[in-house]
Amino acid sequence: MNSNNYCIIMAGGTGTRFWPLSTKSKPKQFLDILGTGRSLLQMTFDRFKKICPVKNIFIVTNERYNKVIKEQLPELSDNQVLLEPAKKNTAPCIAYANYKIQGINPDANIVVSPADHLILDETKFIKNIEEGLFFTSKNDALLTLGIQPTRAETGYGYIQINEEKEVKDSENIYKVKTFTEKPDKELAQKFYESGEFFWNSGIFIWSLKSIQAAFKKYLSDVDELFAEGVDKFNTEEEHDFISKVYFNCKSISIDYGIMEKADKVFVYVSKFGWADLGTWSSLQEHLDNDKNNNAIHGKNVLTYDVKNSFINFKDEKLVVIKGLDNYIIVESDDKLLIYKKEDEQEIKEIVNKLENEKGSEYV
């Protein structure tokens, strides 16, 4: 195992689209929503400890999740859990981890991953990541994993490849032509049919030197804030310094801040059974469904003329449902969600509305 390989796992999201199971106090990355006995974060950690030493894995999260991370990943030291005092999107999160790692190993080669993705073919995934790490260790490049689309999905960002610029000695790595944020249905269909576009997985690979240079060039205002405390990382002064930095730092994604602007951006075209578990429908695709295309969790759920639905209740509750097609029905404690699948992108807005009208204890 290469001691220069590092991993940054981003675990600060609130997972509001999985409400009511996912709440701000315990969002989806800390839940066993797949029924494996391990949370999504734990499954992500289990994959990456096969690629780099455990001591080289860093979790970036919000301060409120420090306790649950320590409970779920007791292998980690305090220094490996990076606590953000505020949500500032992915670029500041990555900048923080970069400076942390720089103080330990300036020759680091890094993979950055969200904590809540589903990977079905773990062997192929690990092989792809290792090939990507080898590529970035030899090249000044920013590499992202692009996923072969299986449908015209409007919930993902897309990457267009330049087929004429395939990287020498690698049949899977191409120069990136364009990035596109979540398209409408018509555009997503065109992307899918063209064969030139791939889903943006949000998984990145680069050397520390390459990403630091990119920050200095494209996000210099963010980089300068963190650079002021270069001698404070991995010391007792780090916490107070980070609190100050995050107060002054803008909120911006790594995609918009760097990847869409940089000229040395490449994509590794991958197919290892990937899903960004961002909606109940995306979860249902990877669960066992009955003959009526229902995914049902709960030992005492009785359905009559119910089709194409996701249903989740506690085992001790007797539930009878009749005559629904294409619905999400999820119970959690004192909360119940009944929603049309076609409108599930609205759930995030509904949760925000609930917090304003009913109070934070419900979200």
Q: What is the CATH number of the domain that holds 137?
A: 3.90.550.10
Same-domain status, 240 and 324:
no
- 74-124 residue pLDDT tens: 999 999 999 999 999 999 999 999 999 999 999 999 999 999 888 888 999
Same-domain status, 67 and 214:
yes
User: What is the reported pLDDT for 126?
Assistant: 94
- 130-143 residue pLDDT tens: 999 999 999 999 99
- 156-215 residue pLDDT tens: 788 888 766 666 667 788 888 888 887 888 888 888 888 788 888 889 999 999 999 999
Same-domain status, 32 and 163:
yes
Angle between helices 90-102 and 208-218 (to 10 degrees): 130
Question: What is the pTM assigned to this prediction?
Answer: 0.89
> In the chain, how many domains are there?
2
Least confident residue range of 41-55, 265-279, 304-318, 333-347: 265-279
User: What is the reported pLDDT for 165?
Assistant: 60
Same-domain status, 240 and 287:
no
Which residue, 248, 278, 308, sits at the end of a domain? 278
Same-domain status, 75 and 11:
yes
Average confidence score pLDDT of the chain: 90
User: What is the reported pLDDT for 30?
Assistant: 93
Q: Determine the structural domain holding residue 352 and report its residue range.
A: 281-362
Same-domain status, 84 and 32:
yes
Least confident residue range of 154-163, 265-274, 302-311: 154-163
DSSP one-letter string for 52-67 = S-GGGEEEEEEGGGHH
- 308-342 residue pLDDT tens: 999 999 888 999 999 999 999 999 888 899 999 98
Same-domain status, 259 and 339:
no
Same-domain status, 227 and 332:
no
Sign of CA dihedral 269, 275, 276, 278: positive
